Amino acid sequence: MLHVDIEHQLGEFSLDIHVQFEPGLTALFGPSGAGKTSLIHAVAGILNPRVGRIVLGERVLLDTEKGIRIPTHLRQLAYIFQDPRLFPHMTVLENLRYGQRFLGARQALGSLDETVEILGIGHLLSRHPAALSGGEKQRVAIGRALLSSPSLMLADEPLAALDEPRKDELMAVFERIRDDLKVPIIYVSHASAEVSRLADTIIRMDQGRVIARCIQAPSVDQAPQSSTDQLSFPAWVTRRHTRDLVEVDVEGRLLLVHDRRARPGDQMMLVCDVRHVQTMSENDLSLMSFDHDG
């Protein structure tokens, strides 16, 4: 679906990415400064890598050796930012119709009415962005993106500014885009709940490089729910500590887990009773008891 082979230098930070993205929703996961946003900026054409090649389907978006650099507005992509970036002088309906301007000769994913129904924003069409809540603004931004009929959707922490109920509602929207509309999505997030619920593939990044890749991420059944007494976290095995213990990385924190089978580089889903969770500093190496899947 998408092939990315790029190298770039940003001050002291180097980006060296060689990865293939599969259909479905791919989550880019890793600590701040890992290069996640830089990667999707390169795909979008916002960042121009010094060396490399980016191919989406059969379309070459970037080939530095051949001098090919397709401008952002011609890449047939949609970008969902954390800030919805709606036009304040336009109504919701006018913002949505703006997305249709980029459709070109491509077949629409759905009509305006169908998109409005999927997003549940029919009652908002005459309003201006200033009269919308954060969740409503993000729904409109997603609708505007969908109406451009993108070949690929890029989402950079789109739920980070929302409260938990709004996050849950919009995760359901992304599930419909993934499952019903079949739009491939590259989704940046620090939130393990979003990653474990939404992702078909998880790509772990650190220091400008891909360090792990897991196909067939956990299903929605395994995602942590506010009504239960368990939390689940995607984790990567960094090394074997003893015969019975492995060291795993969970959102940049190191834990020791009882496991005789896992090997460095393996991905697992850790499931923990909330009563056993304790606050840890960045450098703590703590021993906790987990059940794990995968």
For each of the domains in the chain, give its residue range(s) and CATH number, in order of start.
Answer: 1-76+183-219 (3.40.50.300), 224-293 (2.40.50)
Give the bridge partners for 166, in sequence order. none
Check residue 215 and give its pLDDT.
Answer: 62
Check residue 261 and give its pLDDT.
Answer: 73
> pTM to 2 decimals?
0.75
Q: Tell me: the pLDDT tens digits for 157-182?
A: 999 999 999 999 999 999 999 999 99
Q: What is the mean pLDDT of residues 77-103?
A: 94
Dihedral pair phi/psi, residue 199, rounded to 5°: -80, 135
User: According to DSSP H, which parts of the chain are helical?
Assistant: 36-44, 92-100, 112-119, 134-146, 164-179, 192-198
Give the C-alpha separation, 208 to 17, whole Å. 7
**Residue 121 gets which letter from DSSP?**
-
Residue type, 47: L
Give the C-alpha separation, 11 to 254, whole Å. 28
Dihedral pair phi/psi, residue 175, rounded to 5°: -65, -40
Question: Out of 147-151, 182-186, 235-239, which region has the weakest mean confidence (pLDDT)?
Answer: 235-239
Q: Tell me: the pLDDT tens digits for 17-54?
A: 999 998 999 999 888 899 999 999 999 999 999 999 99
